[in-house]
Structure 1
Amino acid sequence: MTGVQGLDDDTLLARLREWAATLGFSQIGVAAVDLSTAEAGLLAWLHNGFHGSMDYMAVHGMKRARPAELVPGTLRVITARMDYLPRDTPAGWQAIEWQRLDDPSKAAVSIYARGRDYHKVLRARLQTLADQLAEAVGPFGHRVFTDSAPVLEVELASRSGIGWRGKHTLALHRDAGSMFFLGEIYVDLALPVTDPAVPHCGSCSACIDVCPTRAIVAPYRLDARRCISYLTIEHVGAIPVELRAAIGNRIYGCDDCQLVCPWNKYAQRSSLPDFDARDGLDDATLLQLWQWSEDEFLRHTEGSAIRRIGYERWQRNLAVALGNALRRQPDPRIVTALRERRAQAGALVREHIDWALADAGP
């Protein structure tokens, strides 16, 4: 079948995939723009307040489910998968991560955030992919997205064959698990649509059962207000007291629902150095990170997704984790470090320090 600019569909898709592979992408799909069947679920999620303080989720209304309204003229969405496990990830990496979570002295940073900011990595490479497509078919209207606009990423990924929606709401692939980023290019080209993904979760409920804060309130339904990733990254104010103990030593994000997922035994290593761990974030202690000044925080997190939460929330998260460490194993070094920082801390961090020290005695 003849497609865009005289290129047959199979040839065009093959070229797209070839270009994408050289850019570090693992998979390419193409989705149509009619997502009307997803609107009811989105509305119910917003109505229940599951988006928490992420007001931008509601502000854009149904544009998330209507690509042609978000970017007028859009006919198709090119979807892309980029694996992010660091290149040197050893076999049995899940067991190593569980061991870290069980060590109260260690700082647990979500795997995806230990390297370079994925927004920067994917956005530049998606734009390059769009440029290469334009060289082949001529100029066309497009817009690149990487978790940066009202886009139903997982819905588009599932419809284009990148992966199905797991019960934890993340995209899952039979040969890659869920340890990957998603990116999109909205285009005004009538590209051939790729086949949707087929779900393979079956009766498994491992992700639901393992969630420390019970944030997965039902299969395929996440209450962000209880999710540790939301609480440690998106949430601006005080972390609810009733959820602090469950956070453990997780100071930026949470991987539990992915670590326990059987499909992640097939998770793929990235081919890019961008996602290699920086500054020892795969083996740092809570006390080491607590000692960072604001200047040190900014220096160590330059080019990292972590920087966007700012120093205050970084300290807030660490204070909770240090408090949890004290409750598991009293340590005078932690008590001293928290007390030394309290006088100069702002109101938000001071409140979390006081909570951390509540059982430490005089």
Structure 2
Amino acid sequence: MTATPTVHAQPPETPAPAPPRASRKQPPARAALLTGGLLAALVLLCLLSAGIGAYRIPLGDVLSSVLHRTGLGGAALDRVGESVLWNVRLPRVVLALLVGASLGCAGALTQGVFGNPLAEPGVIGISSGAAVGAVASIALGLSFFGNWTVTVCAFVAGLGTVLLVYALSRSGGRTEVVTLILTGIAVNAFAGALIGLFIFFADNAQITQITFWQLGSLAQATWPKVLAVLPCAVAGLAVAPFYARKLDLLALGERPARHLGVDVERLRVVLVLVVALLTAAAVAVAGVITFVGLLVPHLLRMANGPGHRFLVPGSALGGALVLLAGDLAARTVAAPAELPLGVLTALFGSPFFFWLLRRTRRRQGGWA
């Protein structure tokens, strides 16, 4: 007679403890902390940028003049100080804020639409198209808008290039991301050929002007230029956050996003137009400035995760901060000479891009 083995009852598994309440609130707290830090750094850098230069204005005098102009007290500076601050420094500071915020926000939207953290607005031909418009207006000696001819031609050509890329990549009522990117690469190559052709037929003075514009700079900042870019920047920056939730759903993939009620094609059209509006306006007034739309969203994604509710407005703040810091360095590092802003951003952005590629390759087991 064999003995029946004794079966011991297993105690019921205890459910895993719920995460503490503080850890659930950590991401919103981190986003709020990052936003506060970006805003504080931005305000401080604005005041420093307004005071630092060949004609140095103390920080207290900058605050006093701003308060005086806004009717909140303070006192006016001397005639030279007021002229330097309000006609030279502050237009440049405000333009740097608008251009940087536009490029940073456009970069976050581009990466969200394409589902690729290494994408930037120039991939769909906006920057190269704007460059064609500006270079053509300079080389052909166009002047139908006076001093605004180059800016207007760059803006219109940038928007037109995006519409062309989208029309060429659309088939059967849909637009695939890969087709859109490849079409943008082809149009970028064609735009580069056109730029080379215009430079070939330009004279020495025009070549100098073309080269200066392509290097990117805020040296020609004025209040009229600020007012020119302001409507496009405000419109794009105001619309972009409303699509943050849909971008989060799109990150799950096109098919899951459609099942969750997202009209993917309409979303892509709207955001590509917003990106075109922001980037074309920025490039039209500042020239070609690269890597801001790539670096800023990626750094914020590393700091706070991929959620677009923080990433989109945070990229606008971060872009403004980076471009303002870059412009301050451009006009002070080699004083009295001024470094081209686009060269400076590319000089620091390209090594970071290489580091991103290496980091991505390591994470994916040798494939980038």
TM-score range, shorter chain: under 0.3
Query: RCO higher in 1 or 2 (8 Å CA, sep ≥ 6)?
Result: 2
Give 1 or 2: higher strand fraction. 1
Larger Rg: 2
Give 1 or 2: higher helix fraction. 2
TM-score w.r.t. the length of structure 2 is: 0.26
